[in-house]
Amino acid sequence: MLKTHIKAYGAISSTEPMREMIIERRAVRPCDVEFEVLYCGICHSDLHSIRNDWGTAVYPEVPGHEIVGRVTKVGSDVTIFKTGDIVAVGCIVESCQCCHYCQQGEEQFCEEGITFSFNSPDKVSGGMTYGGFSKSYVCEDKYVLNMPAFKDLASAAPLLCAGITVYSPLKHWQATEGKNIGILGMGGLGHLAIKIAKAMGAYVTVFTSSPSKTEDAKRLGADTVVLSSDREQMKACKKQDMILDTVSANHDVNRYINMLKVDGSLVMVGLPADPLKVGAFNIVHGRKSFSGSNIGGIAETQEMLDFCYKHNIVAETEIIDIKDVNRAMERLEKGDVKYRFVIDMATL
């Protein structure tokens, strides 16, 4: 298969800074879409992956799965995209399309396993997939998304991972009018969860350990902000139908399970490195659930993009040049960002 060579930015080991490199992209097949990458968000999982925190990295690795671009070429069988269209790719770039979950539009649960947009075995070209920290991307059309005409296109890029990660469980657990929805943590995921839950019509309570985030949480749409270290505030807080837990650091989830109504659910989307302890009595009393959620399928991701466009929801971002990406990763590790970095790929 013919391939093209393009510029990218990636890691060659877990201990060295990322740097410019040349990678290969496959030639466009009849079912493929090729696009110039305009913007790419930086997700905490990009940081974990390049540092091999999960033990799965294959180097060289080019991260990035919040990818927005402009179509430069389409294959002969592609009918839904044309040159010049603004499109996007998130986490998923291939699945079996045959199993029950793929047939239901929930490719994230593909029984044969999905191909991720970076650091995943590439079933088409061989080797590993390379992500959006690059000049261009090639993807089968069924995994390419129509990007609505956001005024701030760069700040819409994080919706491709952070947005769908919180939208999917909020929809599944019915964060609608009349529901009390808690958001635990106010980082890249949490700040979008506040906006989306509020747009769905829920009464939104933010639980945070940082007093300095109170005003910002209310600016983003929170109805109530509870300082989790204040016992009286926690005791006075109304019970929640659902709490969306976006925290990736180790923490005591039992405190928040106890904040649930009967039949309430604490839903994890954060990824703490160590196992969390759950007290059996905390879930037995009140028939409560401790659950998890993981991104969403292609159709639901498109639905999320359209919902966010309708409600004027984008991430709070800091736009950076590619040369500043290593510094951005260091700041991300320290939590020094409000609330998402996005790379302007024109700087590569």
**Based on C-alpha coordinates, what's the Rg of the chain?**
20
Cis peptide upstream of residue 339 (ω within 30 degrees of 0): yes
pTM: 0.95
Residue 282 has φ and ψ, to the nearest 5°, of -70, -30
Closest CA relative to residue 343, chosen from 20, 10, 40: 40
Q: Which residues pair with 137 in a beta bridge?
A: 35
- Selected from 3.40.50.10420, 3.30.460.10, 3.90.180.10, 3.40.50.1980, the CATH number assigned to the domain covering 3-161+296-347 reads 3.90.180.10
Q: What is the β-pairing status of strands 203-208 and 224-227?
A: parallel
Tokens of residue 21, six digits: 């490199």
Residue 56 neighbours by CB under 8 Å, 6+ apart: 49, 119
Which value, to the nearest 10 degrees, does the dihedral of the CA atoms of residues 110, 111, 114, 120 take? Answer: 160
Separation CA 205–CA 336 (nearest Å): 23
Which value, to the nearest 10 degrees, does the dihedral of the CA atoms of residues 152, 193, 330, 131 take? Answer: -60
Q: Residue 327 carries which side chain, given as an amino acid letter? A: R
pLDDT in tens, the chain (348 residues): 568 899 999 999 999 999 999 999 999 999 999 999 999 999 999 999 999 988 999 999 999 999 999 999 999 999 999 999 999 999 999 999 999 999 999 999 999 999 999 999 999 999 999 999 999 999 999 999 999 999 999 999 999 999 999 999 999 999 999 999 999 999 999 999 999 999 999 999 999 988 888 999 999 999 999 999 899 999 999 999 999 999 988 899 999 999 999 999 999 999 887 889 999 999 999 999 999 999 999 999 999 999 999 999 999 999 999 999 999 999 999 989 999 999 999 999
Separation CA 174–CA 160 (nearest Å): 21
| Domain residue ranges of the chain, discontinuous segments joined by + | 3-161+296-347, 163-292
- The pLDDT score that the predictor gives to residue 325 is 98
- The pLDDT score that the predictor gives to residue 2 is 66
* Residue 328 near residue 344 (C-beta atoms within 8 A): no
- The pLDDT score that the predictor gives to residue 1 is 58
CA of 304: how far to CAs of 133, 222, 297, in Å?
23, 20, 10
Going 102 to 144 to 6 to 55, the CA torsion angle's sign is: negative
User: What fold characterizes domain 163-292?
Assistant: Rossmann fold (3.40.50)
